A and B are shown apart, each in its own frame.
Chain A
Amino acid sequence: MKFITNALSLDSLFLKKVRTDEDQFSNVYTQHHKLVRSVIYQISGESHLNDLVQESFIKIWKHINQFKHESHLSSWIYRISVNVALDHLRTHKRKSEVYSHNFDTIIDEKTNIEKTLSDKDLVERALSQLSDEHRIVIILYFIHDLKISEIADIVEANEGTIKSRIHYAKEHLKQFLSELSQNDSQKHGG
């Protein structure tokens, strides 16, 4: 009789898992898909975005048992998304495909004339000119407002390295933003 009771309780545990799998996955997806999509877009650009988002969620779900509650779930999800985006960049760089949002010219759809860069275009262009390492720390530190310790955890580097990367990345970014802004105002006679 004891055996039957044990078997039933094990079975109900199993059922509970089956029943809640999809609900749990839906929760993880609805809560984090914006974060995953935006961070992948900001790191690796538009091409293959949907595939990379899917790949990230598949990895998240397959390895969710390995998630240690020492860190936040969102930090762990950041780490997976950043790694997926970086892997994609590495693979495509070998094929001479560089991160690019096709920024050569921005044409106004109505007038068909090259238009002034908006601040959004400016940021996107400046980010695309940074190295992968610098772009990642700028995105995580300035845009996603993560702490240095969290970034260190995500990119698996020590905090000193991250501080140094942020410092140099910030200088480069400021320089690119200034240059792009100046060039644009000169082009349009501003």
Chain B
Amino acid sequence: MSFTNKSDDELKKFLQKNQPLPKKNDFSQEELNELVSRLKLKKDTSYPVIWGTSFAVSLAAAFLIYNLVNQNLNSAQPTRHQQIAKIEASDEFLQEEDEYPNNNLPTLNIGDEYLTLSAVY
């Protein structure tokens, strides 16, 4: 058989007709299963369970985030206890500062006159 004078089309037809093919060339379910397990692909066989779980997870996540956001908002404002403590602390400060109440002011001796500080004020 002469091949040297074959046209491209003739050569293509000849090669396609006589192409080398593996002995086993059919669909193999076993091979597919093996590949699936190697790739760890899971088929969903329990629809309601997965949906239920996913809904519960979503709800829990929403609740958690809601709580976190709420906590953050609350932490920005002082609690009632904190407010009272702050007020008390400021009162103590005033009391400490108020060493000389008006009715008990020290007297100053300027020349012969005795003046009270209230007069100076």
Q: How far is the CA of A175 from the CA of B4 in the complex (A)?
A: 7
A98 to B54, CA, bound (A): 54
A-B contact count (CB 8 A): 118
A165: CB under 8 A from chain B?
no
| B contact patch SS | helix
Picked from A8, A18, A120, A138, the residue with its CB within 8 Å of the CB of B18 is A120
Q: How many residues of B contact A (CB 8 A)?
A: 42
The answer, yes or no, to whether A74 is at the interface (CB within 8 Å) is no
Residues of chain B lying within 8 A (CB to CB) of residue A143: 15-16, 19
Q: Is residue B75 within 8 Å, beta carbon to beta carbon, of the partner chain?
A: no
B65 interface residue per 8 A CB criterion: yes
**B14 near A38: Cβ-Cβ < 8 Å:** no
Question: A: which residues have CB within 8 A of B?
Answer: 3-4, 7-8, 11-12, 14-15, 18-19, 21-23, 25-26, 29-30, 33-34, 37-38, 41-42, 46, 49-50, 53-54, 57-58, 61-62, 101, 118-120, 122-124, 127, 138, 142-143, 145, 170, 173-175, 177-178, 181
A-B contact pairs, 13 of them (CB 8 A): A7-B61, A29-B32, A33-B27, A33-B31, A46-B22, A58-B35, A58-B38, A61-B39, A120-B18, A123-B20, A170-B11, A178-B1, A178-B4
Residues of B at under 8 Å CB distance from A? 1-4, 6, 8, 11-12, 14-22, 25, 27-28, 31-32, 34-36, 38-39, 41-44, 50-51, 54-55, 57-59, 61-62, 65-66
